Amino acid sequence: MDAHPLDALLLVSFGGPEQPADVMPFLENVTAGRGVPRNRLEQVAEHYQHFGGRSPINDQNRELLDAIRKDFAEHGLDLPVYWGNRNWDPYLRDAVKQMASDGVRRAAYLVTSAYSSYSGCRQYRENLFEATVGTDVELSRLRLYFNHPGFVTPFVEATSAALASAPADTHVVFVTHSIPTDMNAASGGPGERAYETQHLEVARLVAEGAGADAWTLAYCSRSGSPHQPWLEPDINDHLRELAGDGVTSVIVVPIGFVSDHMEVVFDLDTEAAETAAELGLTFARVPTPGVHPTFVAMVRDLVLERAAADRGDEPTRSVVGACAPNPDLCAQDCCPNLRMRLPAAP
């Protein structure tokens, strides 16, 4: 398989603490400059203590790395795979430094976030620009993949399986990470609201593919200043509304997430499950793509697609649904940093 001119893949992720002593420094990294009150950080830090002061995200990234490397080897794609995080070790700057030391000159990068938003795309690009300063490493972003069949299919399969064993009147609640409403409004460009639109499209695709009769979209993991409006409804508030409307059974589908990290295992498996139990709701949560074979194969497909585009070819771009494939290069005003203008990687 021809990956020219690419000579590496960089897996770009959020990062997470791996021991109790890491938790507060990690949270301070995440919220730097955002004015999050100390007591809110302490509340979130307590979430990690339910899991021994360790986030599952780094282990999940290691598992994904292994799966990608195995898939590449099995399909004759000779491309080394690196890994760097925004907020915790291994940091992006260290990953890029290692790539440069290994002679990498042109690397594709995959962000473990499928949707358009400042925090899910452009902020990573800002971090990557900073990480590559002073190196000869050039970067090519793999397009956002919310509507790639490799991302959607695992959710369709899991939701279909959950519905098969659920009561006939089960309501499906799709869940993603909440973001500030002004960030949503600017996602994809001024007034585009791409973050919300893309999630509604994926929810529709999964609901139709799985045969769900009733579904809604809710949000979790709100943070930041309590005075700033964020996307709603919160999953717990929404479960109360559903119960008030006579719903007795729910299936929660975390379409906003690539793997079962803290926002899933605490916000959904712990808090939302407890809320459902208090309300007498039957509750089930389907898995995220993780290392599902179609998701892993998607990474290879996106690498080959971007390599072809960088060579000047016209690659076939796999998508499902009504939205066009996300462009290789973001527009100048796509998902802007609303606090300050910073340079970003391509």
Q: Are residues 85 and 153 in the same domain?
A: no
Report yes or no on 345 lying in a domain: no
What DSSP element (H or E) covers 249?
Answer: strand 249-253
Q: What percent of the chain has pLDDT over 70?
A: 99
What span, in angstroms and rounded, lies between the C-alpha atoms of 243 and 250?
10
Contact predicate 243/281, CB 8 Å: yes
What pLDDT is attached to residue 35? 66
CATH number of the domain within which 162 lies: 3.40.50.1400
Q: Are residues 247 and 303 in the same domain?
A: no
Domain termination residue (choose one: 236, 251, 285): 285
Report yes or no on 329 lying in a domain: no
Q: Are residues 160 and 279 in the same domain?
A: yes
Beta strands in 23-180 (DSSP E): 81-85, 106-111, 138-141, 171-177
Q: Are residues 229 and 198 in the same domain?
A: yes
Report yes or no on 193 lying in a domain: yes
pTM of the model: 0.95
Q: Distances from the Cα of 289 to the Cαs of 100, 255, 316, in angstroms? A: 31, 9, 23
What span, in angstroms and rounded, lies between the C-alpha atoms of 173 and 166?
14
What pLDDT is attached to residue 34? 66
Q: Are residues 16 and 50 in the same domain?
A: yes
Report yes or no on 85 lying in a domain: yes
| Structural domain total, the chain | 2
CB-facing half-sphere around the CA of 82: CA atoms within 13 A:
27
Q: Are residues 271 and 165 in the same domain?
A: yes
Q: Are residues 36 and 79 in the same domain?
A: yes
Q: Are residues 233 and 157 in the same domain?
A: yes
Q: Are residues 231 and 184 in the same domain?
A: yes
Q: Are residues 250 and 306 in the same domain?
A: no
How many beta carbons lie within 10 A of that of residue 19, not counting itself?
Answer: 10
If the chain, 346 residues long, is cut into consecutive pieces of 10 residues, what is the mean pLDDT of each piece? 95 95 86 74 83 93 98 98 96 98 98 97 97 97 98 98 96 98 96 97 98 97 84 98 98 98 95 98 98 98 98 96 96 91 94
Report yes or no on 338 lying in a domain: no
- For the chain, what is the radius of gyration of the CA atoms? 20
Q: Are residues 273 and 299 in the same domain?
A: no
Q: What is the mean pLDDT of the chain?
A: 95
What span, in angstroms and rounded, lies between the C-alpha atoms of 87 and 228?
23
Q: Is 228 exposed, middle or buried (0-12, 13-18, 19+ CB in 10 A)?
A: middle
Name residues whose C-beta falls within 8 Å of residue 98's C-beta, 6 or more positions apart in sequence: 82
Contact predicate 206/218, CB 8 Å: no
Q: Are residues 124 and 201 in the same domain?
A: no
Which structural domain range is residue 279 located in? Answer: 149-285
Report yes or no on 129 lying in a domain: yes
Can you read off the two tokens belonging to residue 339?
């606090």
Report yes or no on 332 lying in a domain: no
Report yes or no on 195 lying in a domain: yes
